[in-house]
Structure 1
């Protein structure tokens, strides 16, 4: 098995981040955790194009990239299984500014449906909410 190349997009509103809320097993246990919208980079696709595609596929909105934030290498275990992701992180904006008024978005990935919510940066930094991938909290503190 090889590392997966992924990309994530960070959208901010009033010191809150739009995150997908998920529940299940994760590298810190079991329960609710959060992750920005994003996904796997396809062969021959630039990460900046991937993040735009993922926002359209997952929550049906167009975004524009404000700036590149950095790259994370996330190595983790869930139930003894090793995972390895190399993730390009972008700060992005909604093209339609009215979307910032929405409280949540429905996220559809195959048969799985979840929802996003605006989570305060303070809750993430204080550890009140679990954010993945590992290292993203520190990257946000340096870049936001």
Structure 2
């Protein structure tokens, strides 16, 4: 098994970040955890193109990519399975500024439906909310 190439986009509103809420088993236990919108880079696709596609597919919205932030390397274990991701991180904005007024977004990925919501930076930095990929919490301290 090889590392997977992924891309995620950070949308920031004041002191809040738009994050998808998921529930289940994760590398820090069982329960709720959060991650930015994005996904796996397909063969022949650039990471910024993937991000635009993923926001369109998952949230049905258009984004503007402001800038590349960093690559986050995430090696983690759930039960006996080890996984390894290389994630390109971008700072993005909604094209439609009215979307910043929405409290929640439906996230559709195949048959799976979850919700994305505005989560405060303080809840993330304090550890009240579990965020992935590992290393993103430290990155947020630098950019927000």
Range class of TM-score, shorter chain: over 0.9
Contiguous gaps of at least 5 residues in structure 2: none
1:24 — aligned with what?
24
Q: How does 1:30-49 map to 2 (within 5 A)?
A: 30-49=30-49
Residue 25 of structure 1: how far off its partner (Å)? 0.2
2:125 — aligned with what?
125
The CA distance in 1 between the partners of 2:131 and 2:80, in whole Å, is: 20
Residue 102 of structure 1: how far off its partner (Å)? 0.4
Contiguous gaps of at least 5 residues in structure 1: none
1:108 — aligned with what?
108
Runs of 4+ in 1 over 2 A off after TM superposition: none
- 1:73 equivalent in alignment to 2:70: no
The CA distance in 2 between the partners of 1:51 and 1:138, in whole Å, is: 22
The CA distance in 1 between the partners of 2:118 and 2:129, in whole Å, is: 12
Query: Which whole-Å deviations, capped at 9, do the CAs of 1:45-70 have from their partners, x for residues lacking one?
Result: 11011101000000000001111110
2:87 — aligned with what?
87
Residue 142 of structure 1: how far off its partner (Å)? 1.1
State the aligned residue count: 144
1:97 — aligned with what?
97
In the superposition, the TM-score normalised over structure 2's length comes to 0.99
The CA distance in 2 between the partners of 1:46 and 1:140, in whole Å, is: 24
The CA distance in 2 between the partners of 1:44 and 1:19, in whole Å, is: 27
- 1:134 equivalent in alignment to 2:134: yes
SS in 2 for 1:99: helix
Task: Please provide the CA RMSD for this pair.
Answer: 0.5
1:9 — aligned with what?
9
The CA distance in 2 between the partners of 1:78 and 1:11, in whole Å, is: 28
Residue 14 of structure 1: how far off its partner (Å)? 1.5
